[in-house]
Amino acid sequence: MLKGGKVGLRARHEDDIPVLRAELYDDVVNGSRAEARPWRPITPGTKDPRLVVDDTVESVVPFSVVDLDSGELVGTATLWGIDTHHRSAHIGLGLLPSCRGKGYGTDVVAVLCHYGFVVRGLRRLQIETLADNHGMLRAAENNGFVREGVLRSSAWVLGEFLDEVILGLLAQEWKDRA
């Protein structure tokens, strides 16, 4: 398990899947805002690729996020789009609604940075998020990510186009902050 100050990132357990499905992916608003495709219901028991881990896929590393004190599941985190040639990847996370606003997001981003830069030897990490996702923007910027641009009206979410913000962090910048 990878550990931060508040959270641990561990492998996905079978009993995580119903909780993550019910609290993150079955919610139309949350699902629509978190995915780059339209929300659709997923039948229970289906091998939902967002939740069921395929360990043979090298470009994605999914984690379940747990509170270090209680061991309770608080969300999911992913290093995705891993490019070993350019030594870059993207960060994604989703916190259960009851766990938002408690500092978990900032800690998850910090642990994913450690994993990406130290464990995987990457040079660049990137985050793309909706411009109104203030929690994710704060978590990224608290960890040294820099706003690199805005993709205007690039995300179709529940009947409207929204801007997306692109943030980046280089390994040297991360090391300089430590």
Give tens-digit pLDDT for 91-145. Answer: 999 999 999 999 999 999 999 999 999 999 999 999 999 999 999 999 999 999 9
Mean pLDDT of 70-84: 97
Residues belonging to the chain? 178
Which of 139 and 44 is assigned the larger pLDDT?
Answer: 139
**pLDDT confidence of 31, banded at 50, 70, 90?**
confident
Q: Are 108 and 93 in contact (CB under 8 A)?
A: yes
**pLDDT confidence of 55, banded at 50, 70, 90?**
confident
Alpha-helix runs per DSSP H in the chain? 16-20, 28-34, 104-114, 134-142, 171-177
